[in-house]
Structure 1
Amino acid sequence: MTTYISDQTETRFVDGFAYRRFGKTGGVPLVLCMRLRGTMDHWDPDLLDRLAAQREVIVFDNRGTNASTGTPPDTIEGLADGAIAFIRALGLTQVDVLGWSMGGIVAQGVALRAPELVRRLIVAGSSAGGVPNLPPPPAKVNETLAHPVNHDEDFLYLFFPETERARQAGLASLRRLDHRLGESKAAVQPETFRAQLTAIGTFAGFWDRQPELTLPVLVANGAHDVMIDAYATYAMSQRLPNAKIVLYSDAGHAFLFQHPEDFAHEVNHFLTV
């Protein structure tokens, strides 16, 4: 079994936020914002270690999520403000931010609400929100999300295409998560999940504010994302002033876990050029 640095890193706390820091220090840290119903233990350690080989990586639980205290925000703006408060609590004055899924929207909120904090932005498997003509997800997505607990088959449907190769990559990623999750039993509380759903359901979107994101932005997704159609990634390329777009033709929502080596290479290159 591979031993991952991110799996061995201890949990710390600051102002009620649970977090971990690991990797190569000395540069601009990379702060990661997590998906709907996810915790910092739900990041694939293979991806984390590949990112951490070239920079310091910081993962955290937002307010009221898993090990963090406080009231869970029920707006995207509140989630962004939570992330900003966490970054400032660490005493950081400049960071790069990577957000996946709901976290990608939150990451945009961080860059819009505190532009002085964010040097570069990475939006993975996400959307600007309010994208015109964005195809809706299949009905099965909402049915699957409504399950009290999501198991392997749910995650495989939501995150990976229905091919044997993608399924095997998905199962491998899920097994990499077992080390942390087996020890921590980390989970998003029901009230936090409800707050997150409210935040998504009431969010008007950052579509009209995309031109304000003048910093370098990397937007990436899998072409077969059933949760947030990959059209959102293309559409953002038409609005962002300084963006690079990456699409994986054989992947879905969790393309970053299906192709951790390649995506980490894209991220590390983007953050250093």
Structure 2
Amino acid sequence: MGVALPYRNYYHGQECPAVARLGSMILNSVSFGSGSATPLVLLGSLGSSAEMWLPQLDYFAASRRVIALDHRGHGASTIEGPALIDDLASDVLSTLDSLGVTTFDVIGLSLGGAVAQHLALNSGRVRKLVLTSTAAVFGTPESWTEKAAIARSGGLDELSHTVISRWFSPTWIAAHPASLEHWRRMISATPAEGYAVACGALSSFDSTSWLSSIEVPTLVVAGTEDGSTAPEVVRFLADSIPDAEYHEFSPAAHLLNVERAEDYNRLVEEFLA
């Protein structure tokens, strides 16, 4: 099992409120490819499953082992909570231990980016870090409390329409009506309690005080039309992590790994080489 990581979450500048922490768990994962290159781990957005990484699973499997994970309460992973980002990071390590993976590269998008930041600082196992459409602080605690309440009241299908409008740029949405509905259904299919638990984890996350301590090579990627994590929010990560590289895609929104898959894959491949 993975070793529990240090308790470094903060509640917007202050120590986090007490949470009944249940320990790490083994997550659902999908794995493709092989080879001598460092394995690549993919950690997705709130409301997603490993399916959101299909373009990257296809592309990187040609050169290395690539592993996509479902956060707890997402996709086919079971629900345990409440949880902090620390717990979600420990889930990742426990799962990678079960797969025989020690050192790895990691791409984290949105919620996955918060988890990836924590892993890069604390685990000692990350070789290179890619932070995509993510942040040091995600909105306000009150906004996440409201989203969790909506999810628990059975409104995840309703939420999915709002969320999907922020995941892709207007140009992409207009050109991909069938794909848009496919990704919306992925959000809608997320267990309500799993979504709510992840909202709770994001509500208390604040990495601003320790970003400068991340020492692994880092690439930060933003979409100019991202309605969830605006470019200036993402850019803050690159400005705060020593020697981090920064890249913007335009047009692109939150799920730029899908919207700009070919360009994104080439950029990441060059960075990981």
Q: Shorter-normalised TM-score: what interval?
A: 0.7 to 0.9
The secondary structure found in structure 1 opposite 2:210 is helix
Matched residues in 2 for 1:72 and 1:187: separation?
19
- Cα distance, 1:156 vs structure 2: 4.3
2:68 corresponds to which of 59, 64, 83:
59
Structure 1 residue 103 corresponds to structure 2 residue 112: yes
Q: Which residue of 1 aligns with 2:233?
A: 232
* RMSD over aligned Cα atoms: 3.1
1:191 aligns with 2:193: yes
Partner AA of 1:29 in structure 2: P
Residue 39 of structure 1 is matched in structure 2 by: 49
Aligned residues: 242
Residues in 1 aligned to 2:54 and 2:136: alpha-carbon distance in whole angstroms: 27
Q: Distance in 2 between matches of 1:265 and 1:173?
A: 22
Question: Quick check: 1:128 aligned with 2:145?
Answer: no
> Which residue identity does 2:247 align to in structure 1?
V
What are structure 1's unaligned runs of at least 5 residues?
1-14
Identity %: 28
Does the Cα contact within 8 Å between 2:79 and 2:193 map onto a contact in 1?
A: no
C-alpha distance in 2 between matches for 1:25 and 1:174: 34
Question: Equivalent residue of 1:208, what SS?
Answer: coil
Length-normalised TM-score, structure 2: 0.77
Matched, 1:255 2:261: no
The aligned runs of 1:209-220 (5 Å cut-off) are: 209-220=210-221
1:70: how far off?
Answer: 5.6
Say whether the 8 Å CA contact 1:173–1:257 is kept in structure 2: no
- Indicate if the aligned counterparts of 2:37 and 2:63 stay in contact, CA closer than 8 A: no
Q: TM-score, normalised by structure 1?
A: 0.77
- Following superposition, the deviation at residue 64 of structure 1 comes to 4.0
Q: Does 1:28 align with 2:30?
A: no
Residue 81 of structure 1 aligns to a residue whose secondary structure is helix
Cα distance in 2 between the residues matched to 1:152 and 1:62:
18
Match of 1:9 in 2: none
1:238 is paired with a residue whose SS is: helix
Partner of 1:246: 247
Alignment of 1:105-184 (within 5 A): 105-114=114-123, 116-129=124-137, 147-149=155-157, 154-162=162-170, 165-168=171-174, 170-171=176-177, 173-174=179-180
Contact 2:225 2:253 in 1 (8 A): yes
Q: CA deviation at 1:49?
A: 1.0
Whole-Å Cα distance in 1 between the matches of residues 188 and 224 of structure 2?
30
8 Å contact kept, 2:109–2:132:
yes
Unaligned runs of 5+ in 2: 1-24
CA 1:152–1:74 in 2, change beyond 3 Å: closer, same or farther?
A: closer
Superimposed CA distance per residue, residues 40-93 of structure 1 (whole angstroms, 9 cap, x where no aligned partner): 12x142332122223221012233433223614521111111112112222212
Deviation, structure 1 residue 33: 0.8
Query: In structure 1, the residue corresponding to 2:219 is in which secondary structure?
Result: strand
1:227, distance to aligned residue in structure 2 (A): 0.7
**Aligned twin of 2:90:** 81
1:170–1:226 distance in 2 versus 1, CA, 3 Å: farther
8 Å contact 2:55–2:257 — kept in the other structure? no
2:167–2:226: 8 Å Cα contact kept in structure 1?
A: yes
